[in-house]
Structure 1
Amino acid sequence: MEERAFIDWTSPFTPTQLVDASPTYTAVRTWGKGIGLLRNTGERGAAQLWAFRKREWRAISGATEKIASGLYGYGAPAWAPFGAHRALGLVPARGVIQMYDDHGHAIRSFPVEGSQQGYPVRWSKHEFAYVADFGPEAGRAIIVVDIACGLSRTVWRTADFIAGLAVDFRSGRVAWHAWPSGTMPWDRAQVWTADRAYTYLRPELVAGSTGHAAMNPTWIRDQLYFQFENDEHFRPARQSEDGIQVAAALGGESLSDWFFGWPWTVGVGASTAHVTVRSSTTFVHRWRKDGSVELIESSPVALQEVAGDNKSLWATGSDHTRGSSLWQYQLKKKRWRCISPSSATVLQPDEVSVSELRRTDSGIPFVYFEPSHPKLVAPTDDRPGLIIDVHGGPTAYAKRGLRVTTQFFATSGFAFASVDYRGSVGYGAPYRRSLNGHYGEYDVDDIRAVARYLLERGEIDPTRIFVRGGSSGGMTALLAAEDQIFAGAIAHYPVTDTHRLNAATHEVEGCYLEELIGPLPESIDKFNLISPQFRADFPRKVLVTHGVEDVVIPVQLARDYVAKLQEAGVLVTYLEFPGEGHGYRSVDVQAQVLGAEQAFLSN
C-alpha cells in the first residue's frame, strides 16, 4: 500500500465505471415456479423485466423498453404476474400496459387512461386492473380491462389518492389504501376493501384514522395484512374475526419508502414475513398464526422489497459489501444467499468502506463511512475531508447498504456521514413528527451538530467539510452550508423557494410544506425565512443540478436561485438535464453528476 495524504487520494474508478458496474434490482414478485423482477439495464435508465426460474435468468421485456410508473410524481409498482406464465408491465413511452409470456414474447398491449398509472394487478381470470391518476379535477380511479376484447371500465373513482391496490384472486376481495388530497399518507391513510363482483365497488373501511394511519394492504391466504400506526410506531397488522391484530413485538417500524405500496409484508412458508427499519437498518421477522415473532438473522441491512413462497423469502436490496441485488432466504437451511448474476464489480468486499452506526453526544444518529482505498493509505496523523449526506423526504431515513456514491467518495479521501436528523423514519412517531413546525431549523441544526461533533473529536480535516443532499435534503444542505464551517454545498433538484413550491408542486405534496412549516397564509413569513431564495447568507460555493422535466420541484426555481447566487458573487456550478425528472434515471446522467461532484470537491 502506498502512503499518500487524504487530499491527494484519487478514486481508482471513474464515475462511469462505477455506475455501469452497479445495476439495480427492484420490484421482486413470485411468478409461477420462480420470481420476476425489474433490472436497470444501463440503457437510458431502462427497467427490464426478468424472470428467474430453475436457477436460470431470462429477459422478458426488451432491453431498451422502460417498464416504469410515474404515479403521483414518484412512481409505484409497475409490473405484476398474470397467472403462472404471463405478466403485465407499464410502458409509459407507449402509453400502454404490455402483456408478456414467460418466454419473452410481447403478446398484446392495452392503452391506459389517465395522466399516470400504477399498481397493475390481476383482477380475475380474464381481467387486470390498475390505478389511474386524472389530476385534481377528475381525481383517481381503479380501472379494469378485459384482456379478451380490450374493453375497460371504471369500478371506483374518488378525489382521494389511491395506492396499494391488491386483489385476493380466490375470494374476490379487493383492497387498497387511500388518503385525502391535501394530506400525507402517513397521517391519514385508510385501508378499504370491497367485493370485486360489483360492477361499481362498494368500499368498506377496515382501518385508519388521523394519527393512526393504515396502508399497503396485501392478501395472504385469504387474510388481509397491512401496516398500521399503533402505539406511535407503524407495525404489521392483520384483520381477523376478533378485530385488528398488531405485531407489537416487532422492533423498529414497518413502513416502506413514502408508503406508496412497496411490499414489506409477504407470505412465506406457513407464516408471514415483515420488514422493519430501525436506526437506518432493515430487519426481517416471521409472524406466526399464534402471534409469536421470530427474527430472521443476518438479513441484508438495506432491503427494498420482498416476495415469498413456500420454501423461500426473496428480497431486493443491498448489504454492507454488495450493492443492489436479489437475495434468497432458504427456510429449511435458514441462510441468505445472493442470487444476482455476476457483474463487473469494481470493489472487492475487503476494499469496501463498511457503514458504522454512530450518535453525537446529544444523540443525533448517523451512518458513518471511513475513507477506504484498495491501493492507498494515509499517514497516521492525517485527517480526511468530510461529506455529510442529507436524505430527502424529509420523511425518510439514511441507508446503510453499499452505494456507488458513498464508495466513490470514500476512495477519494473523504469520510461520509448520512444523518437521520429529526423528522426521519425508524424512530417512532414523536421523532418523525418533531420536524413539523421546525423544518429548515431542527434538520439544519442536526446536520451542523454532526459536523461539529466529528470536528471536535479531531476525526476530520476542518478545511474540507462539505454537505450534499437532494430534493428536501438539498434545501437543508444549502441552509446548513451558510455556516462557514462548511467549504461548500451540493444540492440536487433542491427546494429553494418553499412558498412558490407549495403553489407549484404536484398535487400529492400540495400541503406537505404547510405541515412541515405552518399553515398559509399566516405562516408566509416563515416560509420565506427558511427559503434559500430569500436568505441574506450563502454557502461559500455551490453545485446545483436539476432535471428539466421535474414535476415535483419545477426547474425554474433552481434557475432563479442560481441567478441569485451569481448576482451575489457566489462561486456556483449549475447543470440541467433534459429528459430527467425528480431523481436521475439515466446512467449517463448519473455518471455526469458524480463527475461534477468530484470536480466540485477537488477545486
Structure 2
Amino acid sequence: MTITELPYGSWPTPITSELVTAAAVRLGEVRVDGADVVWAEGRPAEGGRTQLVRRTADGATTDLLPEGRNARTAVHEYGGAAWWVRDGVVWFTDWADQRLHRLEPGAEPKPITAEPAQPRADRYADGDVSPDGATIVCVRERHTGPSAADVRNEVVRLAADGSSEPEVLVSGPDFVAAPRLSPDGTTLAWLQWDHPSMPWDDTLLIVRDLASGEETVVAGGPGESVLEPRFEPDGSLLFLSDRTDWWNLYRWTPGSDIAPVVRLDAEIGVPSWVFGSARYARLDDGRIVYARRREGRDGLAVREHDGGLVDLDVPFSAVAAVRAAGPDTVVVVAGTPTAEPGVHRVDVTTSAIETLRAPRDLGLDPERISQPEHFTFDSVNGAGEQRRAHAHFYPPTSPDWRGPEGELPPLLVEIHGGPTSSATPVLSVGVQYWTSRGFAVVDVDYGGSTGYGRAYRQELLGEWGVIDVADCIAAARSLAAKGRVDGDRLCIRGGSAGGFTTLAALARDDTPFAAGADHFGVADLEALAADTHKFESRYLDRLVGPYPQARDVYVERSPIHHVERFTRPLIVLQGAEDEVVPPNQSEMIVDALRARGTPVAYLLFEGEQHGFRRADNIRRALDAELSFYAQVLGFELPAQEGIEPVVVENLGS
C-alpha cells in the first residue's frame, strides 16, 4: 500500500460527516422483559426521536412506538428513564406532551395521565411497577410557572392502567429520584437531595413502610452521594455510595448495619445527569455483576458468593447499562475502542458474548481507527500547587496518508460536558472524523471529572473556569513538549460546560490555543445563574460560589467580561431551543467579538435543544467546524466531500 504525503488536516477520508450520521443511533437504556430484551435508540435520521425496540427470544426485532412517538422525558431537562416495561406492556413519557402513556402489545399508545393546565407542565420519569402489576411509582415534575421556583419534584403513585389520579407519596425535597418498591410491595425506597447539592454531592436514601408511614434514613447526608437503590428478594437493599471516596456497592438489611458488598479503588457509579443508571445487576443466585471504571476505562466484573471479585475477559471500555438476563447472563449496552456501543448478552461464567443489537457496520479498515492512549500529566490548581490530571490521547491515523517530513499534527483539545462527567474511551466516529484527517485529539478528564474518586471530583469545587482550563492547557503543552503535536497549532473545542472551558481558555492573554470551537457554551456565568432550569439552578453555588454573594468571582470568570483578551478565531454553534444554555449566551460572545474585529463564525440551528440530534444539523456542525479550522490553520479541504465553507467574519481583517 502506498502512503502519500499531505498536510495534516487535509487528508481525504471515508469518515465523512455523512458516515458520522448515516444509520447512526444513540443506544440508551436496556430492559429485560421475560425472554425479551427491550432497548432505546435515539435516531438522528428520524429527527432525533427515541424509538423502543423489542428483541424476542427467536432474534426477531420490532419497533414498538408508532411513527411520530418519542420516548423522551424533560424531567431535569436531561431526562432519562422515560420508559419501563413489564409482561409485554410498555409505559413511556412522550416528548410532545410529557404525559405518561401505556402501550399494550398490538395496540396504540394510550395516555394514562391527565392533560395538565399548561402544555408539558407535568412530566414523568423513572418509574417502577408494583409486584402485582397494578400500580406505578415514578417521579413527577410539575411546572406551575416560568421560573425554577415554580417547579415541584415529587414521587407519585398511580394505577398502571390510568384508572386513578396520581397520588403524591413524597413531596418537599427539591429533588427526588429512583423510587423503588420492595418485592412484596410494602416498602418504598427513594433518593432525595436539596439545593445547592447535586446528586453527586449529597443525597439521602430513605425507605418508608407504606402501611404505617414510618421512614428510615438508610444512608447519605452531607459528604455522601448515594445512587441506584435496588431491593433484593429478601427485602434488603443494595445501593452505591462514595462514602469511602469511590462509588462502591453496599447492602442495607432492616435491623442491621450497612455492609460493604463490593469495595475497590474504582468507580461503579456514574453521575446522575439522567435518571435510570444501571451499573450493576443481581443474578438469581445472588452473584452481582457490575461495571467499574479504573484509569479512565470501564470493565465488567462479578462479585461471587464468597465475596471474591472476578474481572470478566471482555473487550468493553465503556459500559452504559447492566441488566440481569437469566441465571448466568447479563445484558449490557457497551462499546470498545474499535466498536461503537451495541447491546450484548454476556455469560458471566465463560465471558462469552452474544450480540443482540450490533453496532453499525462502518466498513472501516481497523488501521484507520485511532485508539485512545490514557495518560496522566502534571498540572496545577488555582493556588498554583502541583497536582496530577488525566486524559485520553488519539494520534492522527490513516493507512493512506502521512504528514510532511518534519511537520507535526495540529491538536484538538476535547472537553467533555457536565462539567461533572468524563471522557469516554469508546469508538466515536466524531473523534475519528478528525484523526483520520490528520488531527490529533486529546480528550481531557480534568479535575472535577468522574471515574477517579470523590476527591478528584471535588477538585473543581470553587474552581470551575480555573482547574479545567489549567488541565486543558497542561495536557496540550505536555503533548507538544513530547513532540507529538505542533505547539503552534493547538485548538480547543467543547460543548455546554466544555464550551465554557473553551471560552475561558481563549479569554486569556497567555492562551496557547490558536483557535476554538464553542458548542452551546456558557459565556456569562451570571446569566446562567439567573436563567437556567431548576436542576442546575444552584449548581454554580459550589463550582463558582453562592450568587450574588460571590458576584465578583462570576464576573471575573465569565468570558463575556474579557472580550478584550479574545484574539484567536472562534466558531460558535448553538441550538435555537436550548433551555439549558439559551441562545443569548452564545450571541453575547459572538456580538462582542464581531464588535472587536476578532475572527468569528456563528451557526444557529433551528429545532435543536441542548445537543444536536438531527442528522442534517450534526453534519453541518462538523463540516462547518472543519471548514473553520482549514481557513484558520491554512490547509485545503478534500474537494470530493463538497463541504460548504463557513463564513468566518473578520478573518484577515
Tell me the TM-score normalised to structure 2 length.
0.87
Query: How many Å separate the matches in 2 of 1:400 and 1:572?
Result: 31
Matched, 1:585 2:613: yes
- The amino acid that maps onto 1:371 is P
- The amino acid that maps onto 1:256 is V
Gaps of 5+ in 2: 144-148, 380-387, 632-653
Query: How many Å separate the matches in 1 of 2:471 and 2:162?
Result: 58
Query: How many Å separate the matches in 1 of 2:520 and 2:151?
Result: 29
What's the counterpart of residue 264 of structure 1? Answer: 279
Task: Compute the displacement of 1:28 (Å).
Answer: 0.5
Match of 1:438 among 453, 463, 471: 463
Matches within 5 A, 1:4-153: 4-5=5-6, 6-41=8-43, 42-54=45-57, 55-82=59-86, 84-101=87-104, 103=105, 105-106=107-108, 108-111=110-113, 114-123=121-130, 124-135=132-143, 136-137=149-150, 139-148=152-161, 150-153=163-166
What's the counterpart of residue 546 of structure 1? Answer: 574
Matches within 5 A, 1:385-424: 385-424=410-449
Match of 1:174 among 181, 188, 202: 188
Matched, 1:499 2:526: yes
Query: How many Å separate the matches in 2 of 1:258 and 1:138?
Result: 19
Query: How many Å separate the matches in 2 of 1:599 and 1:181?
Result: 43
Gaps of 5+ in 1: none
CA contact (8 A) 2:100 2:112 kept: yes
Residues 588, 129 of structure 1: CA spacing in aligned structure 2 closer, same or farther, 3 A cutoff?
Answer: farther
What's the counterpart of residue 343 of structure 2? Answer: 326
Residues 17, 330 of structure 1: CA spacing in aligned structure 2 closer, same or farther, 3 A cutoff?
Answer: same
Residues 249, 478 of structure 1: CA spacing in aligned structure 2 closer, same or farther, 3 A cutoff?
Answer: same
Task: Compute the displacement of 1:338 (Å).
Answer: 3.1
Match of 1:224 among 237, 240, 249: 237
Query: How many Å separate the matches in 2 of 1:379 and 1:206?
Result: 62
What's the counterpart of residue 382 of structure 1? Answer: 407
What's the counterpart of residue 509 of structure 1? Answer: 536
Residues 32, 337 of structure 1: CA spacing in aligned structure 2 closer, same or farther, 3 A cutoff?
Answer: closer
Aligned residues: 599
- The amino acid that maps onto 1:133 is E
Query: How many Å separate the matches in 2 of 1:253 and 1:551?
Result: 31
Task: Compute the displacement of 1:27 (Å).
Answer: 0.6
Task: Compute the displacement of 1:139 (Å).
Answer: 1.8
CA contact (8 A) 2:271 2:450 kept: no
- SS of the residue aligned with 1:602? helix
- SS of the residue aligned with 2:484? coil
- SS of the residue aligned with 2:503? helix
Matches within 5 A, 1:276-355: 276-309=292-325, 310-341=327-358, 343-355=360-372
Task: Compute the displacement of 1:354 (Å).
Answer: 1.0
Query: How many Å separate the matches in 2 of 1:357 and 1:463?
Result: 23
Task: Compute the displacement of 1:533 (Å).
Answer: 0.4
- SS of the residue aligned with 2:201? helix
Give CA-to-partner distance per residue, 1:547-598, whole Å, 9 cap, x none: 2222222221211111111111111111112222212222222222112211
Query: How many Å separate the matches in 1 of 2:322 and 2:313?
Result: 15
CA contact (8 A) 2:192 2:205 kept: yes
Task: Compute the displacement of 1:63 (Å).
Answer: 4.6
Matched, 1:487 2:502: no
What's the counterpart of residue 638 of structure 2? Answer: none
- SS of the residue aligned with 2:176? strand
Give CA-to-partner distance per residue, 1:498-526, whole Å, 9 cap, x none: 11211111111122112011223332111
CA contact (8 A) 2:340 2:360 kept: no
RMSD (Å), alpha carbons: 2.1
Residues 229, 147 of structure 1: CA spacing in aligned structure 2 closer, same or farther, 3 A cutoff?
Answer: closer
What's the counterpart of residue 233 of structure 1? Answer: 246
- SS of the residue aligned with 1:106? coil
Give CA-to-partner distance per residue, 1:49-95, whole Å, 9 cap, x none: 1112222222211254211112111112111112x221112112143
Matches within 5 A, 1:469-484: 469-481=494-506, 482=508, 483-484=510-511
Matched, 1:453 2:478: yes
- SS of the residue aligned with 1:71? coil
Query: How many Å separate the matches in 2 of 1:50 and 1:374?
Result: 37
- SS of the residue aligned with 2:247? strand
CA contact (8 A) 2:270 2:450 kept: no
CA contact (8 A) 1:225 1:265 kept: no
